[in-house]
Chains A and B, each alone.
Chain A
Amino acid sequence: MSEPDVAIVGAGPAGLAAAAVTAAAGLSTVVLDDQDAPGGQIWRAAGAVRQDRARSRILGRSYAGAQAAIKAAAAAGAVLRSSCDLIDATPAPALVWLDRGAGGLHEAAPRALLLATGARERPVAFPGWTLPGVMNVGAMQIALKQGGAVPVGPVVLMGQGPLLLLVLAQLAKAGADLRAVLAFDDAFPRAGAVQLLRAVRGDPALVAEGLRLVLARRRVPVFRGVRSVRALGESRLAHIAFDSDAGPQEIACDWLGVHDGVIPNTQATRLLGLPHRWDTAQRCLVPEVDETGRAGDTPVWIAGDGSGIGGARLAGLRGQITGHAIVRALRPDAHDAAAARTAQMAAWRAGPARALVNTLWPPRDPLAMVDNDTVICRCEGVRAGAVRAAVAAGATGPNRVKVATRCGMGPCQGRMCEPLLAQVLIRAGATPGALRIRPPLKPVLLGDYETLGATE
């Protein structure tokens, strides 16, 4: 197989939109994605959802555009490879991935590399958060999308943000036994925000319904000013205890869905050694790119939520913008300047909605409910007290904390713990820094290395 012109990692809205542009311009384009079908997180199991009325009724117009985007990329000639995990990459560019379908590691050296690896949820840590039964609300939504599955037994949701409201509404519509919503110290958006929310992409009608649902307290009690949460149970979650503006509470539940917004996935971009900045308001690392998503003057671009959270619609627009930029770089005669400008203008118009979301739901201090016994690094079982002690003893950066405590040394390479670790450092007056990311991005079975032309 000859080397592709363009390799894209991630078949969500951004990756698919970019692939449609680059492939249409005659650049051989390969899209690698780790799920078993394209669509990314938002359009997960798009085909199955479309064919199942029970699901499509609930999941609604979030999937509008999914089929079109997938078909456009394929019709333009992009090759979509599913079940492929990125393992290593360099800015040459070159990449190594694991093909879980065909088996084994494979490599390529394209002329341009686009990372469209999206976002993940922030960790919401508190005593007992590792108990079975505590899940991200995103996970509950995945159960709905992928399996048409709804939790049985009492469900409590905790946190803030558009996804929380969306999943709340979706679970309610699916008939889940929702017992309460726990809101943090920040007050829920006031009634006036309902109008503003219409600007929010995705499924504004459903989001608004969730908000009205909560505000009207028809079915789901809302507790405000929630703090000091503890999840309790023997081998799984049995009940939660917390303080609130309404006084101390205990709620028996089998499931606790938590959420405090999403942050860019920067494992791959950091592995490449690309520059990142710490976004103080968003409490996360963001790669530094120009307005077309290019990382400096490297042949590496970043698009979608992975370059900064913007939601699905903006991700698609950024994907287009980046696709056009790649075409202009690799095949200038095929560059469609007008289309690029159109996408750019649409992206500008979508900006304010994103800024609004950030203003309404600023991410809270991730250590607000963490005590010294709370696990910070789930992979290695490292507790907050050990991390704090290491910082106090002079480990003034995440890599030194890692060396001192093993926090971040497990298979997730900081995907879960890094925001918590960063906050410990910030509280101690240090800069949050960033964990050094090393290949493989995910642990690789020894036998999978056999397909990689072993060289001496």
Chain B
Amino acid sequence: MSGFRRLSPGAPVTMTVDGVPLDARIGDSVALALLVQGRFDFCAPAPGGSPRAPLCLMGVCFGCLARIDGRPGEQACMVPVRDGMVVETEGRADV
């Protein structure tokens, strides 16, 4: 699944996403780090279950909600990655 490529090397960090390690760079938001790896499935789906993904990457669309370091419903695009960060995908409770 295509993601993004980096223009230059950066300071690497490792997060775990649903228990699986995932590489990121200092300066990424969690949403960007996942998008770079071609990961959309971390986003909570829409009512009805259709998949969602980051649209705006700036905290407006609320399409990138995930549980980050135990905090549910975080806008992943507003959280800077940190080495050892724990990211968990969330479903929607009303789907």
Whether A and B touch directly in their complex, counting CB atoms under 8 A apart, is answered as yes
Q: Can you name the residue of chain A whose Cβ is closest to the Cβ of B1? A: A236
Interface residues on B, range: 35 or more
- Docked CA distance A312–B84 (Å): 36
When the two chains form their complex, are residues A146 and B8 in contact, meaning their CB atoms are under 8 A apart?
A: no
- Point out the residue from B4, B47, B58 that lies within 8 Å of A147, measured CB to CB: B4
Interface residue ranges of B24-62 to A (CB < 8 Å) = 25, 27-29, 32-33, 35-36, 40-41, 43, 46-48, 50-62
Interface membership of A209, Cβ < 8 A: no
Contacts known (A147-B28, A236-B1); A415 close to B73, Cβ less than 8 A: no
Interface membership of B3, Cβ < 8 A: yes
- Docked CA distance A52–B6 (Å): 12
When the two chains form their complex, are residues A152 and B5 in contact, meaning their CB atoms are under 8 A apart?
A: yes
When the two chains form their complex, are residues A412 and B46 in contact, meaning their CB atoms are under 8 A apart?
A: no
Minimum CB–CB distance from A271 to chain B (whole Å) comes to 16
- Point out the residue from A35, A53, A151 that lies within 8 Å of B8, measured CB to CB: A53
Q: A residues within 8 A CB of B28?
A: 146-147
Interface residue ranges of A367-387 to B (CB < 8 Å) = 375, 378-381
When the two chains form their complex, are residues A150 and B55 in contact, meaning their CB atoms are under 8 A apart?
A: no
Interface residues on A, range: 35 or more
Minimum CB–CB distance from A163 to chain B (whole Å) comes to 13
When the two chains form their complex, are residues A132 and B40 in contact, meaning their CB atoms are under 8 A apart?
A: yes
- Point out the residue from B6, B27, B36, B62 that lies within 8 Å of A48, measured CB to CB: B27
Q: A residues within 8 A CB of B63?
A: 378
Q: A residues within 8 A CB of B46?
A: 130, 375, 378-379, 381
- Docked CA distance A146–B24 (Å): 12
When the two chains form their complex, are residues A235 and B51 in contact, meaning their CB atoms are under 8 A apart?
A: yes
Q: B residues within 8 A CB of A58?
A: 7
Contacts known (A34-B78, A378-B61, A445-B73); A139 close to B7, Cβ less than 8 A: no
Minimum CB–CB distance from B77 to chain A (whole Å) comes to 8
Minimum CB–CB distance from B48 to chain A (whole Å) comes to 5
Q: B residues within 8 A CB of A136?
A: 55-57
Interface membership of A120, Cβ < 8 A: yes
Interface membership of B12, Cβ < 8 A: no
Q: Can you name the residue of chain A whose Cβ is closest to the Cβ of B40? A: A132
- Point out the residue from A85, A121, A153, A236 that lies within 8 Å of B53, measured CB to CB: A236
Interface residue ranges of A32-46 to B (CB < 8 Å) = 34-36, 41, 45
When the two chains form their complex, are residues A132 and B51 in contact, meaning their CB atoms are under 8 A apart?
A: yes
When the two chains form their complex, are residues B56 and A55 in contact, meaning their CB atoms are under 8 A apart?
A: no
List 9 A-B pairs, minimum CB-CB distance, nearest first: A132-B53, A381-B47, A153-B2, A132-B40, A149-B4, A54-B7, A54-B8, A139-B57, A148-B7
11 pairs, A vs B, C-beta closer than 8 Å: A41-B58, A130-B52, A131-B51, A133-B53, A134-B53, A135-B55, A135-B57, A139-B58, A146-B29, A147-B32, A375-B46
